[in-house]
Structure 1
Amino acid sequence: MVSPQVSGPAMTPDPDAPLLPEGEAEAVGGAKSPLRRCIASGVVGEKDGMIRFVVGPDGTIVPDVEETLPGRGLWLTADPALVEKAVAKGLFAKAARRSVRTPADLGAQVSGLLRRRCLDLVGLARRGGQAVAGFEKVAAALRAKAIGTRSGIGLRLEASDGAADGRSKLDALSPGIPVVDIFDRGELGMALGRDDAVHAVVGAGPLVQRLQREADRLRALSKGR
């Protein structure tokens, strides 16, 4: 998704200025705006590519990957270098304007939460009849462009440790369909109610949009690792 243009200092922040201007609301540009400011870079971007954090009741920084926890959110771009920078340089305390406790393994916590959320969404798709697994079932769904009576394929899942030949055959049947390949066959199998799973598809719809977003954020946080 292309972010709206943000004029002025928001796109080229002064490195000597406060990363979160005093009094700035959590949403940049209005209560319903999708824009947020990253506390590590100072750059404004769409929240779809960012992670929300809040200060917990005991003063600990808590990842809020579902964006439901109360309190003013502190946002970071989904980039491991920026998460490390925020932890190392005490940027959460600076942004919150109070003393906070920042877990040293915060990046690992976020990745773990996103990973679990992705797999939970895969499981939800299976229970709702919106996902199938196994080479033959996936191939049939791709040819029919449907899963059962549900039309449209929204996403393919390929195990990171699966064989290349089966994947290449499915590639030929699914041009233009996004592929998520950041989970191994054991993880996919558990989410899909099987011992293991190498190939799966999820039907088009709102659920697959949520899954794609979480997978994109997880992939971004895993880059270079």
Structure 2
Amino acid sequence: MSLRDATIDRDRRDLVTHQVMDESRLIRFVAAPDGGVAPDLARKLPGRGLWVAADRASIATAVKKNLFSRAAKAPLKPTADLPDLVESLLMKRCLEQLGLARREGALISGFEKSAAAIRSGKAAWIVEAADGSADGRGKLLALARHQIPPPRVCGVFSADDLGLALGLENAIHAVLLEGGRADRWTFEVERLAGFRPLTPPEWGDEAAEAPDGNSDGRGSAP
């Protein structure tokens, strides 16, 4: 069973809309000892889970309308920057997954190796530095359109972000290969899609033609 299969077989109720959703579409929070609200992205913290849809607007609404207190039946005081905190934690988790993927041999980096991985038909994701060259990116995305189904595309992270995560000096192009690690990455990055576009708006038509992490319509990518 893949991680994705294991995480979507339980339903929870969103505090904001009261809709029942599978866990992969929600962020778990718990009451913190200081009376605040703590994100529990790994879903391991003790205490009653307070579940909110994995997007910036929903968490902001839960904070503004005091919905955490109502659900917990206790006076909780979440900070106004809670959506920013969740986004930051999700970014960190996504980068950690990429670092693990490289150590396991499930992530290929560099233009030529990335192109070869795409041609092999085994690419699950193309991960491009947001501030990388449009020329190299365009060539890889053009190759990707010939794979069926095409790999999905993420351009959230800067070259510096990717370099630190992968232990490389120059991290611009990378490909995450199909498999269990790609499933884990997909789970994390789809939650991140509710907080920022997975392909930068300045990529223009390139991003419009490439599949991204918002195929289910939850994220904010154009």
TM over 0.5: yes
Separation in structure 2 between the aligned mates of residue 179 and residue 187 of structure 1, nearest angstrom: 16
CA contact (8 A) 2:106 2:181 kept: no
Normalised by the size of structure 1, how large is the TM-score? 0.78
Gaps of 5+ in 2: 1-7, 198-219
Gaps of 5+ in 1: 1-31, 146-151
SS in structure 2 of the partner of residue 166 of structure 1: helix
What residue identity is the alignment partner of 1:101?
Answer: K
Give the equivalent residue in structure 2 for 1:57.
33
Instruction: Quote the offset at 1:182 in angstroms.
Output: 0.9
Give the equivalent residue in structure 2 for 1:117.
93
Instruction: Quote the offset at 1:215 in angstroms.
Output: 1.1
- Please, what is the CA RMSD of the aligned residues? 1.8
SS in structure 2 of the partner of residue 209 of structure 1: helix
Separation in structure 2 between the aligned mates of residue 153 and residue 33 of structure 1, nearest angstrom: 26
Write 1 or 2 for the structure with the bigger share of helix: 2
Deviation track 1:87-126 (CA, whole Å, cap 9, x = no partner) reads 1111100010111121221111100100000000000011
Would you say how many aligned residue pairs link Structure 1 and Structure 2? Answer: 188
Match of 2:133 among 157, 163, 174: 163
SS in structure 2 of the partner of residue 168 of structure 1: helix
Q: Choose 1 or 2 for highest CA Rg.
A: 1
Separation in structure 2 between the aligned mates of residue 212 and residue 161 of structure 1, nearest angstrom: 22
Higher relative contact order structure (alpha carbons within 8 Å, sequence separation ≥ 6): 2
CA contact (8 A) 1:187 1:196 kept: no
Give the equivalent residue in structure 2 for 1:186.
160
Give the equivalent residue in structure 2 for 1:14.
none
Taking every aligned residue pair, what percent have the same amino acid on both sides?
43
Instruction: Quote the offset at 1:33 in angstroms.
Output: 4.4
